[in-house]
Amino acid sequence: MASWSVITYYCVLSMLIMAYLLGSIPSAVWIGKKYYGIDIREHGSKNAGTTNMLRVLGKRAAIPVFVLDFFKGFAAVSLMSLMRYDPEITSAWLINLKILGVFVAVLGHIFPIFADFKGGKGVATLVGAITGIYPQIILLCFAVWALVFMFSNYVSLASMTAGCCFPLFVIIYSSSEWSRSHDVSFTFILFSFVVAGLLIWSHRKNIERLKAGTESKIYIWSKPPQKDE
């Protein structure tokens, strides 16, 4: 365990609490109640996230939810970056603290203190938080997500595929010339595999619906096929 001063421990704990509180901002719940008069957790998949907002209330409601969830994750990790000014925090520990910030922010989204501890899956918050560490890797994951979604119209399948590609991209990035000035720690590589596993676990019900052919498709760039009369 690192031998930090009391002040350093206090600052780290304070940053983690703020990361949790940022993650706890229930944008889907608040927007649904204020502008549409509904609790999104009582409709559709009952998930307080972008996908369910898109499915139930449409793009106009879903876009601000995604933006807010993304940036609260990004802000949580950016707060942890302030610890670089503490001489007791090494570069290795800074990455570890950022990873802790990611987990705490996503935990806040899943169990938000401002919404009776009933939130969403935290994908948008996770993406925003990791963007605060390695934006290049997230761009690659987003490209995978967009391609899968474009051809399948399944948000869940696109999210799981991008999540499974995440550790692969981390390993490739860590061994590339591009990363020489920003070394990727073993902790972050391990973290990428944990994220992939958690994404699969959190989408287990979606996997069952995909197997059964009952998973809902979402059409953004094209209109849904017309059913035969």
Beta-carbon neighbour count of residue 200 at 10 Å? Answer: 15
Whole-Å CA distances, 100 to 53, 72, 117: 28, 15, 20
Which residues are CB-neighbours of 193 under 8 A, at least 6 positions away? Answer: 167
Q: CA neighbours within 13 Å on the CB side: how many for 45?
A: 22
- Residue 124, pLDDT score: 93
Q: Rg of the chain's alpha carbons, rounded to an integer?
A: 19
- Residue 179, pLDDT score: 53
- Residue 229, pLDDT score: 44
**Residue 176, SS3 per DSSP:** coil
- Residue 182, pLDDT score: 56
Beta-carbon neighbour count of residue 19 at 10 Å? Answer: 30
- Residue 2, pLDDT score: 65
- Residue 210, pLDDT score: 92
- Residue 175, pLDDT score: 81
- Report the largest interatomic distance among the alpha carbons of the chain, rounded to a whole angstrom: 72
Between CA 85 and CA 82 the distance in angstroms is 6
pLDDT, mean of each 10-residue run, the chain (229 residues)? 84 95 96 95 90 90 95 94 90 90 94 94 92 91 94 91 94 72 75 91 89 86 57
Buried b (16+ CB within 10 A) or exposed e, 108-146: bbbbbeebeeebbbbbbbbbbbbbbbbeebbebbeebbe
Please give the model's pTM, rounded to 2 decimal places: 0.85
In the structure encoding, which two tokens stand for residue 186, read together?
């073993």
- Residue 218, pLDDT score: 84
| 27 neighbors 118 (Cβ within 8 angstroms) | no
Which residues are CB-neighbours of 83 under 8 A, at least 6 positions away? Answer: 11, 12, 15, 89, 94, 97
- Residue 110, pLDDT score: 92
Residue showing tokens 């933006």: 67
